[in-house]
Amino acid sequence: MTAEAADIHELCLIVDFGSQVTQLIARRLREIGVYCEIHPFDRVDAAMLAAHPPKAVILSGGPASVEDEGAPRAAPEIFELGVPVLGICYGQMVMVHQLGGRAEGGHIREFGRAELRLAEPSELFEGVAGPGETAEVWMSHGDRVSAMPPGFHVQGASEGAPYAVLADPARRFYGLMFHPEVAHTPKGAAILENFVRRIAGMKGDWSMAAYRDEAIARIREQVGDARVICGLSGGVDSSVTAILLHEAIGDQLTCVFVDHGLLRQGEAEEVVTLFRDTYNIPLVHAEEADRFVGALAGVTDPETKRKTIGRLFIEVFDEHAKGIEADFLAQGTLYPDVIESVSVSGGPSVTIKSHHNVGGLPERMKLKLVEPLRELFKDEVRALGRELGLPPAFVGRHPFPGPGLAIRIPGEITPERLEILRAADAIYLEEIRRAGLYDEIWQAFTVLLPVRSVGVMGDGRTYDQACALRAVTSVDGMTADVYPFTPAFLSRVAGRIVGEVRGINRVTYDITSKPPGTIEWE
C-alpha cells in the first residue's frame, strides 16, 4: 500500500477483478487530477478500508462470471462506507449480485462498439448525453444483469444490454455494462470525471507540482542524514529519481552510471557529459564492459542473459555502496511495477521476461530502498521531470532497457556483433531525428538477427547478417502499436545501413504490435 500519498490526497479506490484494462481506469482518473490506487479484490478488507478511507470506489471488469463457483466478490464493507460506488462490467454484475439482484450468462456476447440510449437524466452523463440521446460506448461481455437489486433502476440501455446503465442515486451506486475507461468510449473520461467529481465530490488534488514537494519532504524524513546511492542509466526514471533526491538531500547522494559495454554508440559519454554539465552531483562512471561482455560469452538463452546482467549489476552496485558507506539505494520503480493485480484471474501470472531492475539488490546489500516514483506512471514521471527543470534531452528520451543491446542480439553476444549493431542503430536513430519523428515514437531500435543471407553489392556476392528495425507507439509500454513509417523513410534507412555498415546486407521492418509481440525481441 502506498500509504503516504493516500494519507495526503483524497483517494479513489479501484478494486481489480482482473480486467485487461483496469490500469486505464487509473490513468483516466490521474489525468483529471484525482489520486487513485488499484488493489486486487482479495486484498481489500475492512482494516484496509479503515486505514485509508476512500472517497469513492470503482469496481473493475474481469474475466469471471458471477455465478461461477469461486467467482471473485467485492468486500461487503465497500457498500457500507457511505461513499459512491461505480461498477464496470464484471464490477457492475458483482455489485448487482451482492446487493440482491442477478447477473448471468447465456446471452449474445457483445464485443466492440455499441450505441447507448439514455432513458432519463443522469448525473453520470452530465455533458455526455441527455434523455433520449445516444452515446457511443465500447462493450466486452458475455454475461449481463437480469434482475436489479432493491433501490436500483435502469437509466440507459443498448440493443444487447437492457441494463447498460443502472443507478441507485440515493446510495450513489452506479453500474455500467460498458467500459468508460477505454478510448473506444469517446466520452468515457467525462463519465468517470462526473463520477469522482460531481457525484463523489472529489476535489482533484493530485498534481506533479504538489507531488514534487511532498516527495522531497518524504525523502528527507526517510533518509535523515544517511548516504544514498542511485543507479543512473540516463533514462528518464533514474534521472528524475536522482534529481529529486538531490533536491531533497544534496551531497548525501552519489550516482553510479554503469557502462556495461552494452550501451548504444556514444551513449556513455553523452549521459555522463550531460549529467555533469547540468548538475553538480557526484557521479561515478563505472567502466565494466569487460566484466559484463566477458560473462556473456557463449550465453544465448534470453533469460540467462538477463539474469547474468542483473547479477553483475548487483555486484557493481554492491562494491560502490560499500565504498561510500551508503545505507540507502534509490530506484526509479514506477507504479506499473508495483501493481499486484495482474494475476487476479488464477494464480501468479506467467513470467514473460525478467526485467532487470535493481529490485534484487536490497537483501544482499542490506540497503534500504528509496523509491520516490512508486506512485507514478511514466507520463507522470515525465511531467515531474519537467517540473524539476530537467532538460528536454532527459525528459523525452526513449526508454532503454537495463540489459541494453544484449537483448537486441538474439544468440551469442560478441564485441564484433555489438559494433555492427551500434553502427546500424545509430544510423536509424539519426534518420528518425532528422525526419522530426523522435518525439512521436515511444521507442525505436535495431535488432541484429542471427541470420545470414545472400546479397549482391558492387557486382559481388555478399553473405552477411540481417537486421530488423523496430519502432512503436505506446503510452506506458504495456501495449504498443507499430509506427507507420513511409516506405520512402524505410528505404532511406535501409539503404544507408547496408551501404555504411559492414556485416549487414539486408534490412527488415518489424510490424508486430504488442501483444502479441513484446517490444524487445528477448
Ligand X SMILES: Nc1ncnc2c1ncn2[C@@H]1O[C@H](COP(=O)(O)OP(=O)(O)OP(=O)(O)O)[C@@H](O)[C@H]1O
Ligand Y SMILES: NC(=O)CC[C@H](N)C(=O)O
State the binding site for ATP: 233-239
* Least gap, CB of 515 to ligand Y (angstroms): 17
* 333 touches ligand XMP (CB under 6 A): no
Nearer to ligand XMP, 174 or 317 (CB): 317
Short-list 510, 483, 504, 497, CA closest to 426: 497
Q: By the 8 A CB rule, do 379 and 476 touch?
A: yes
* Least gap, CB of 501 to ligand X (angstroms): 24
* 514 touches ligand XMP (CB under 6 A): yes
Say which residue the cell 549493431 belongs to. 421
Applying CB under 6 A, which of residues 33, 53, 63, 517 lies at the interface with ligand Y?
A: 63
Applying CB under 6 A, which of residues 141, 212, 306, 470 lies at the interface with ligand Y?
A: 141
Residues 200-239 close enough to bind Mg ion by CB under 5 A: 233, 235
Instruction: For residues 376 and 382, give the distance between their C-alpha atoms in angstroms, rounded to a whole number.
Output: 10
At a CB cut-off of 8 Å and minimum separation 6, what does 254 contact? 227, 228, 229, 230, 281, 282, 283, 284, 320, 324, 326
Q: Which does 483 bind (CB under 5 to 8 A by kind): ligand Y, ligand XMP, ligand X, none?
A: none
Relative to beta strand 253-259, strand 283-287 is: parallel
* 477 touches ligand XMP (CB under 6 A): yes
DSSP 87: E
Q: Residue number with the shortest CB distance to ligand Y?
A: 61
Nearer to ligand Y, 62 or 302 (CB): 62
Applying CB under 6 A, which of residues 140, 333, 341, 465 lies at the interface with ligand Y?
A: 140
Q: Which does 140 bind (CB under 5 to 8 A by kind): ligand X, ligand Y, ligand XMP, none?
A: ligand Y
Residues 269-308 close enough to bind ligand Y by CB under 6 A: none
Annotated catalytic sites, by residue? 89, 179, 181
Nearer to ligand XMP, 348 or 516 (CB): 516
**Could you write out the three-class secondary structure of 201-250?**
CCCCCCCHHHHHHHHHHHHHHHHCCCCEEEECCCCHHHHHHHHHHHHHHH
Say which residue the cell 524505410 belongs to. 490
Nearer to ligand Y, 72 or 385 (CB): 72
**φ and ψ of 127, to 5 deg:** 80, -5
* Least gap, CB of 404 to ligand X (angstroms): 7
Relative to beta strand 56-59, strand 144-147 is: unpaired
Short-list 339, 374, 351, CA closest to 40: 339
Gyration radius of the chain's alpha carbons: 26
Q: Which does 55 bind (CB under 5 to 8 A by kind): ligand Y, ligand X, ligand XMP, none?
A: none
Residues 336-365 close enough to bind ligand XMP by CB under 6 A: 353, 355-357
Instruction: For residues 451 and 465, give the distance between their C-alpha atoms in angstroms, rounded to a whole number.
Output: 6
* 403 touches ligand XMP (CB under 6 A): yes
DSSP 195: I
Nearer to ligand XMP, 238 or 505 (CB): 238
Q: Which does 236 bind (CB under 5 to 8 A by kind): Mg ion, ligand XMP, ligand X, none?
A: ligand X
* 62 touches ligand Y (CB under 6 A): yes
Say which residue the cell 526485467 belongs to. 355
Q: Which does 172 bind (CB under 5 to 8 A by kind): Mg ion, ligand XMP, ligand Y, none?
A: none
* Least gap, CB of 463 to ligand Y (angstroms): 52
Please give the sequence-ordered ranges of beta strands (E in DSSP) within 60-148, or none if there are none.
85-88, 102-104, 110-118, 134-141, 144-147
Nearer to ligand Y, 62 or 231 (CB): 62
* 477 touches Mg ion (CB under 5 A): no
Q: Residue number with the shortest CB distance to ligand X?
A: 235
**φ and ψ of 235, to 5 deg:** -70, 165
**Per-residue x/- mask for Mg ion, residues 388 to 407, rule CB under 5 A?**
------------x-------
Distance of CA 466 to the CA centre of its chain: 31
Write out the three cell numbers for 75: 468486500
The residues of the shown chain that bind ligand X, judged by CB under 6 A, are 231-233, 235-238, 256-258, 260, 331-332, 357-358, 399-402
* 410 touches ligand XMP (CB under 6 A): no
Instruction: For residues 395 and 283, give the distance between their C-alpha atoms in angstroms, rounded to a whole number.
Output: 19
Residues 444-473 close enough to bind ligand Y by CB under 6 A: none
Applying CB under 6 A, which of residues 40, 61, 72, 310 lies at the interface with ligand Y?
A: 61
* Least gap, CB of 332 to ligand XMP (angstroms): 9
Strand partners, 368: 328
Q: How many CA atoms are closer than 13 Å to the CA of 95, on its beta-carbon side?
A: 32
Residue type, 441: I
* 302 touches ligand XMP (CB under 6 A): no
* 443 touches ligand XMP (CB under 6 A): yes
At a CB cut-off of 8 Å and minimum separation 6, what does 277 contact? none
Instruction: For residues 332 and 236, give the distance between their C-alpha atoms in angstroms, rounded to a whole number.
Output: 9
The site that binds ligand Y (CB under 6 A) totals a number of residues, namely 12
Residue type, 265: Q
Classify each residue of 112-132 as buried b or exposed e, where b means 16 or more C-beta atoms within 10 Å of its C-beta.
eebebbbeeebebbeebbeee
Longest Cα pair distance anywhere in the chain, in angstroms?
83
Residue type, 469: L
Residues 64-83 close enough to bind ligand Y by CB under 6 A: 64-65
Instruction: For residues 77 and 264, give the distance between their C-alpha atoms in angstroms, rounded to a whole number.
Output: 53
Q: Which does 193 bind (CB under 5 to 8 A by kind): Mg ion, ligand XMP, ligand X, none?
A: none
* Least gap, CB of 337 to ligand X (angstroms): 8
* Least gap, CB of 20 to ligand X (angstroms): 23
The footprint of ligand XMP (CB under 6 A) covers 306, 353, 355-357, 399, 401-403, 443, 477, 514, 518-520
- Interface residues with ligand Y (CB under 6 A)? 19, 61-65, 89-90, 140-143
